[in-house]
Amino acid sequence: MLAAVTQVPYPSWLNTGDNTWQLVAATFVGLMSLPALAVLYASLVQKKWAVNVVAMMFAGFSLVMIAWFLWSYKMGFGANSFGGGVKNGVPTQLTGVGGWTHFIDNFVGKPGSITSSAGEQGQAVSAANTVIPFHFPTSTLAYFQFVFAAITPLLFMGSVLGRIKFSAWCLLVPLWSTCVYSVDAFLLWGGGYFAQEGALDFSGGYVIHMSAGVSGFVAAWVLGPRLLRDRQHAIPNNLVMAAVGAGILWLGWNGFNGGDPYYAGADAAAAVVNTNLATAAGVLTWIALDAWLSKEKKPTFLGGVNGMICGLVGITPCAGWVNGQGAIAIGVICCAVVWVAWNFLSKVRPFSKVDDALGVVYTHGIAGLFGGLLLGFFGDPNMLEYGCGRLDPSNQVVATTQQTYITATAHCTPFSVNGLIYTGSAHQLWEQFRAAVWVVFWSALVTFILMKLIGLVLRGARYKDEVLEVGDLAIHGEEAFPEATLAERVGAFSMAGDSVSSSSRRPDEPLPPNEPNEPGS
Amino acid sequence: MKLIVAVLKPFKLDDVKEGLKALGIHGLTLTEAQGFGRQRGHTEVYRGAEYEVEFVPKIRLEVLVDDSRVEEVVSAIVETAGTGKIGDGKVWILPVEEVVRVRTGERGTEAL
């Protein structure tokens, strides 16, 4: 007789807590792009550019979504590298063997689609997680990683807005995502070269923020500046809407950093708390610096938003690997460094010569760089991302007391980061530095090439001055805040009711909406 | 008939309105306006960059009155709108040829 079969809703490798948190976190991160970043950037520009900003945001998000699931997710997080250096999650060459060959073999994943039923519902696996399997399907991991891939080009839109052609943007986003983002993601997160070397980036201080800052700066340099008049009148159109966007960005970051342990455990919670500690410290630091040291001596709100972003970006590469004091220190340091850069470095070449419209290179580029380096100082070996438990005969984890949790065994090495101030070792700092140099180099080089190519294909990636004078109306035929009463509908649905259009309507023509049926018609 | 135009500080609107009501004036037109006089503008600072804003917010008040009432209305406005500080605004008086009430077609002082 056969044993009774019970129908189950999901396979045994799936953990509902992990899967739920990962999908919630992914949605939070998605909300950071739409609407948060769209609203924040659209309210920081003049009225005449607001529609262009939100249009580029929604188009960019959509473009990355399609590219990500058709080919680029696997380039960043697939189980196989392009050179075959990693096979089914196991590196075929050890660190240091083969030098350049090793680097090239572990450079980027093999592109491929994940849209099949098996691709979407099978257990997530990447070249990076050889120790603990993921407890959710590929769809969960891929969507979680998609919202990061999507926000990165949207972040550096802040550098190029106000003059880049919509068509140029729609080419740049998928190309950049494929050639820059996927490569850096594989190298640092997907089990590629820098991951094997030991460089760390909790949620994207390098792969996302520094890369966005550098790429935006280079793209803005290739594009050339906005109109002089736009630069002189670059006053935000709505600070309250900027507050809405900034607020969703901050709280969305709970998913951004809280989702990156990939398991809904203690480190996810610690990452959320550290993120908020660093951010609160960043907001207060910038406001205090503005109030005491700026020429105006006034605590400005948009300064507070800058400080918030510095704190968020600074803690991103560190969130689950530092303790609370470390998080506050990172928030203060990153914010202070960026404040100084914003006020003084911006007057020095090449910064003074490149029109980085919203200053992405400072709040994302410099904050991301310092956050990544500070991990080498503040990484706390007692902040465990993953621990070791003892398994009972049915393979359930038991004995998760602190002692067993942190003690390495023959089969398990708990994962945490050895920062300089706790261990006296500068090794992590060195690894962080090497990875930073690479990300800056690769982002700058490839962005430069892509912008030049797009410029050739489109005969200029920048709109003509006549278009720039007008903005949204010239590009999209829309205004952010149209005056309804000044406009009248024309064309097929011209407002009937007046004698001219009623009498000129053909008998077979449908009635315009909202017009009462005339008796006998 | 005369048209009295006053450009004033926005926060004095309530006082001026009450003053005019007390005189039995039962109609006026208000517009939000921008302008500067000797008071000049102010400086705003966004994301570390300073912007000189030459124009300051004002209200522009228009009252149509019969010739006989011009003096008392103007005095009421000046009295209620004044703070004694620079930037209080200005009042000027224009002759009006004709006034028509749209609803009834009444003309002249009847239409006021």
Summarised one tens digit per residue, pLDDT across range A94-106 is: 445 556 777 888 8
Are A296 and B49 in contact (CB < 8 Å)? no
Are B50 and A296 in contact (CB < 8 Å)? yes
Question: Residue type at B53?
Answer: V
Asked, for residue A157, whether it belongs to a domain, the answer is: yes
Give the distance from residue B46's alpha carbon to the nearest chain A alpha carbon, in angstroms: 7
From chain B, which residues contact A within 8 Å (Cβ)? 43-51
Are B47 and A235 in contact (CB < 8 Å)? no
Give A57-76 pLDDT, tens digit per residue.
999 999 999 999 999 999 99
> Of B104, B19, B33, B107, which is closest to residue B63 (Cα–Cα)?
B19
pLDDT band of A514, cuts 50, 70, 90:
low
Distance, CA of A314 to CA of A204 (rounded, Å): 10
Are A235 and B46 in contact (CB < 8 Å)? yes
pLDDT of residue A488: 85
Are A296 and B43 in contact (CB < 8 Å)? yes
A325 and A444 together in one domain: yes
pLDDT band of B48, cuts 50, 70, 90:
confident
pLDDT of residue A495: 53
User: Has residue A502 got a pLDDT over 70?
Assistant: no
A431 and A519 together in one domain: no
Give A34-51 pLDDT, tens digit per residue.
999 999 999 999 999 999
Q: Is A285 exposed, middle or buried (0-12, 13-18, 19+ CB in 10 A)?
A: buried
User: Has residue A425 got a pLDDT over 80?
Assistant: yes
A249 and A306 together in one domain: yes
> Of A245, A349, A333, which is closest to residue A289 (Cα–Cα)?
A333
Provide the ipTM. 0.78
pLDDT band of A172, cuts 50, 70, 90:
very high
Are A343 and B48 in contact (CB < 8 Å)? yes
A460 and A505 together in one domain: no
Q: List Cβ neighbours of A374 (8 Å cut-off, separation of 6 or more).
A: A314, A318, A329, A330, A333, A334
Judging contacts by C-beta atoms under 8 Å, the chain A residues touching residue B51 are: 235
Give A255-277 pLDDT, tens digit per residue.
999 999 999 989 999 999 999 99
A399 Rama sector, left if φ>0, alpha if ψ -120 to 50, beta otherwise: left
B5, B61 contact by CB (below 8 A): yes
Q: How does DSSP classify residue A123?
A: B
Q: What percent of chain A has a predicted confidence (pLDDT) above 90?
A: 73
How many CB atoms within 10 Å of residue A193? 23
pLDDT of residue B34: 93
Q: What percent of chain A has a predicted confidence (pLDDT) above 70?
A: 86
Asked, for residue A404, whether it belongs to a domain, the answer is: no
Give A319-357 pLDDT, tens digit per residue.
999 999 999 999 999 999 999 999 999 999 999 999 999
pTM of structure:
0.88
Helix (H) or strand (E) holding B95: strand B89-95
Domain that holds residue A65: 16-128+145-381+417-472
CATH number at residue A149: 1.10.3430.10
Distance, CA of A368 to CA of A212 (rounded, Å): 9
Distance, CA of A382 to CA of A398 (rounded, Å): 20
Q: How far is CA A141 from CA A18, A83, A146, A154, in A?
A: 11, 23, 8, 21
Q: Select from A298, A306, A359 the Cβ nearest to the Cβ of B45.
A: A298
In chain A, the number of structural domains is 2
Judging contacts by C-beta atoms under 8 Å, the chain B residues touching residue A295 are: 50
pLDDT of residue A340: 97
Omega prior to A35 cis, within 30 of 0: yes
A375 and A494 together in one domain: no
A492 and A434 together in one domain: no
3-state secondary structure at position A391: strand
Are A294 and B51 in contact (CB < 8 Å)? no
Give B53-99 pLDDT, tens digit per residue.
889 999 999 999 999 999 999 999 999 999 988 889 999 999 999 99
User: Has residue A86 got a pLDDT over 80?
Assistant: no
Domain with residues B2-111, CATH architecture: 2-Layer Sandwich (3.30)
B101, B110 contact by CB (below 8 A): yes
Asked, for residue A401, whether it belongs to a domain, the answer is: no
pLDDT of residue A132: 78
Minimum CA–CA partner of A235 in chain B: B46
Asked, for residue A136, whether it belongs to a domain, the answer is: no
User: Has residue A135 got a pLDDT over 80?
Assistant: yes
Name the token pair of A390: 């003892």
Minimum CA–CA partner of A344 in chain B: B48
Give B2-47 pLDDT, tens digit per residue.
999 999 999 999 999 999 999 999 889 999 999 988 877 888 889 8
Pick from B42, B45, B54 the residue to mutate for testing the A interface (most A CBs within 10 Å): B45
- Helix H, strand E, coil C: the string for B32-93 is EEEECCCCCCEEEEECCEEEEECCEEEEEEEEEECHHHHHHHHHHHHHHHCCCCCCCEEEEE
- What is the average per-residue pLDDT within A7-20? 92
